[in-house]
């Protein structure tokens, strides 16, 4: 159904070797989580592969895609520098590969989340954070991911919020809303 070979070759050419390796690690992690939660493993793998397709775009490439798809110019502001690739990546993969909305949404939500996230969206969000070198945060999040994906999300969102606050930054409103939504589910 999906041309994984073409996507893989495109990613090898478009991304730095470090980013490409990360994308494959996320894809493999997402596939394992999808199997654990009994959802489409191929979709999870593809979403993991392409989640950072726009991560290394320069400002001109970002502007081009924002204009072409009438995305918010606010995405070009410095505070969105680390998350703009999610919005742009979602439209890029739709145009280049005609990937379905499930995969596009998983790419769109993999940085800040959204209260309407599907299980696939959550898997990509979590896989992006745990497909990394082991450390206490990754280890805890990985353990939680296989117990309850929502609890892994809460842990990762809280960790992100604490990190941002230490650096004098605020968490994205969508992330705060998602964290509060998930915490309320368990209270």
pLDDT in tens, 29-57: 999 999 999 999 999 999 999 999 999 99
Asked whether residue 165 is assigned to any structural domain, the reply reads: no
Phi, psi (5° rounding) for residue 5? Answer: -65, -45
pLDDT at 1 over 80: no
- Looking at the chain, the whole-number percentage of residues with pLDDT higher than 90 is 97
pLDDT in tens, 66-114: 999 999 999 999 989 999 999 999 999 999 999 999 999 999 999 999 9
Asked whether residue 154 is assigned to any structural domain, the reply reads: no
Asked whether residue 81 is assigned to any structural domain, the reply reads: yes
Asked whether residue 57 is assigned to any structural domain, the reply reads: yes
- CA-nearest of 11, 50, 40 to 128 is 50
Mean pLDDT rounded to a whole number for the chain: 96
Q: What is the per-residue pLDDT for 116?
A: 95
Asked whether residue 104 is assigned to any structural domain, the reply reads: yes
Neighbours of 62 (CB within 10 A): 20
Asked whether residue 12 is assigned to any structural domain, the reply reads: yes
Q: How far apart are CA 94 and CA 118, in angstroms?
A: 18
Residue ranges making up the domain that contains 22: 4-133
As for how many domains the chain has, the answer is 1
Mean pLDDT of 149-168: 97
Q: How far apart are CA 108 and CA 46, in angstroms?
A: 14
Looking at residue 14, which CATH number applies to its domain?
1.10.3210.10
Contact predicate 37/123, CB 8 Å: yes
Asked whether residue 176 is assigned to any structural domain, the reply reads: no
- Looking at the chain, the whole-number percentage of residues with pLDDT higher than 70 is 100
């Amino acid at each position: 159904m999906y041309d994984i070979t073409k996507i893989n070759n495109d990613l090898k050419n478009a991304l730095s070797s470090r980013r490409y390796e990360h994308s494959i690690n996320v894809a493999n992690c997402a596939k394992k989580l999808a199997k654990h939660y009994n959802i489409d493993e191929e979709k999870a793998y593809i979403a993991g592969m392409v989640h950072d397709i726009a991560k290394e775009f320069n400002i001109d490439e970002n502007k081009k895609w924002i204009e072409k798809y009438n995305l918010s110019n606010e995405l070009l502001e410095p505070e969105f520098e680390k998350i703009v690739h999610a919005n742009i990546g979602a439209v890029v993969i739709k145009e280049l590969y005609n990937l379905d909305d499930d995969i596009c949404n998983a790419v769109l939500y993999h940085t800040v989340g959204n209260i309407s996230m599907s299980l696939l969206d959550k898997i990509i969000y979590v896989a992006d954070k745990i497909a990394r070198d082991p450390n206490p945060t990754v280890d805890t999040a990985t353990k939680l991911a296989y117990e309850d994906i929502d609890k892994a999300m809460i842990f990762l969102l809280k960790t992100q919020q604490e990190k941002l606050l230490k650096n004098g930054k605020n968490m994205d409103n969508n992330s705060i809303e998602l964290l509060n939504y998930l915490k309320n589910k368990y209270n």
